Amino acid sequence: MALRINDTVPDLAFETNEGRIESFHDWIGDSWAILFSHPKDFTPVCTTEFGAVATLKDEWEKRGTKVIGVSVDGVDDHRKWIGDIEESSGGSVSFPIVADTGLEVSKAFDMLPAEAYLPDGRTPNDSATVRSVFIIGPDRKLKLSMTYPMTVGRNFGEIVRALDALQATAKHGVATPADWTVGQDVIIPPAVNDEDAKAKFGSFDAVLPYLRKTKLPA
């Protein structure tokens, strides 16, 4: 079954290019985490995506977020591939890459496309994982997931934006409108009445009776 929002993510052990992680939950610790999958090492779209994640190192750190990649190839291939990633992107790969050679992580996070499954539900030895992103909170629960086909590279600027929104809503009990970025007004949830909204947020703009915008609290 696919993971749903607010499900606790699987607590797996796996090998990475930086050594073995015995507990995914322990690795997350008190941080936010992003797990992102790739079909295979030494492939063009994957290389650009890993490069994008590498160049965003400072952005992840500012947001207290750990990142970890997943690919079906082994540790030795990961270590060789990192050279290509760094050469093509100018970034430094400072995050672990899971060696999911047995597809345990891909299956646990439901990252295989429909055609990878046989009629009886089994999966052949197919490495064609879709491009999935999982943003996980410090409570080890899934906060957001995105899935792309193998042919389409992800927009990591949107992933950073979504992470900002998740962290803002978790901290302040608000919602964010379409295309929201840090510094813009947020939405007061309908469950908060006007009196409580004034006490908590001060002034607000009632665009509609059910759509009230206010500044994000400091």
Q: Which residues contact 162 (CB under 8 A, 6 or more apart)?
A: 135, 144, 146
Taking Cα atoms as reference points, which of 68, 3, 56, 6 lies closest to residue 31? 68
Place of tokens 């840090």: 182
Place of tokens 């759509």: 211
Instruction: Give the span between the Cα atoms of 67 and 26, in whole angstroms.
Output: 14
- Would you please indicate which residues are annotated as catalytic (active-site) residues? 46
Taking Cα atoms as reference points, which of 100, 92, 78, 115 lies closest to residue 13? 100
Buried/exposed code over 29-50 (b: 16+ C-beta within 10 A; e: otherwise): eebbbbbbbbbebeeebbbebb
Instruction: Give the span between the Cα atoms of 30 and 43, in whole angstroms.
Output: 33
Instruction: Give the span between the Cα atoms of 103 and 94, in whole angstroms.
Output: 23
**3-state percent helix, strand, coil for the chain, nearest multiple of 5:** 35, 20, 45
